Amino acid sequence: MSLVTGRDKGTLLLTFLTGLAINGSFAALFSSIVPFSVFPLIVLGLSAWCLHERYLNRAMPDGMPSLAAAFFLLGFLLYSAIVRAEYPDIGSNFVPVILMVIVVFWIGLRLKRRSSGQ
């Protein structure tokens, strides 16, 4: 049996994009340093709609909701780190990068545990 099916990979990718888009939309709307762009809002709407459709049509396998939350957090932190690297006036990107490393290791541990359990 495979570690993560194609449908599960799509769900994880959509949660990652949703995390990126939420942070991007917030920065575009409320940060005076980051220039406005409509694209994070479009991505947020489409990815949230696709996740909602996946939720309605199929149940998630065991362990997938926590992995999806971790991918969401990873996307959120990645956008924060990229914006802070591009615009240093906002502040250091040290904390988001450290948290991203922790989340990546946690995801790796969960995927390893999931593969050994199957």
Kindly report, residue by residue over 74-87, the tens digit of the pLDDT: 999 999 999 999 99
Q: What is the pTM of this model?
A: 0.89
What would the mean pLDDT of 57-61 be, rounded to a whole number? 85
- pLDDT by residue (tens digit) across 101-114? 999 999 999 989 88
pLDDT of 23 > 80? The answer is: yes
CB 5 within 8 A of CB 60: no
Query: Counting every residue, how long is the chain?
Result: 118
Output b/e per residue, 5-37; b: 16+ Cβ within 10 A.
eeebeebbebbbbbbbbbbbbbbbeeeeebeee
Residue 19 and residue 27 in contact, taking contact as beta carbons nearer than 8 Å:
no
99 contacts 77 by C-beta, under 8 angstroms: yes
> How far is Cα 79 from Cα 38, in angstroms, rounded to an integer?
16
pLDDT reported for residue 1: 42
pLDDT in tens, 34-55: 899 999 999 999 999 999 999 8
DSSP letter at 82 equals H
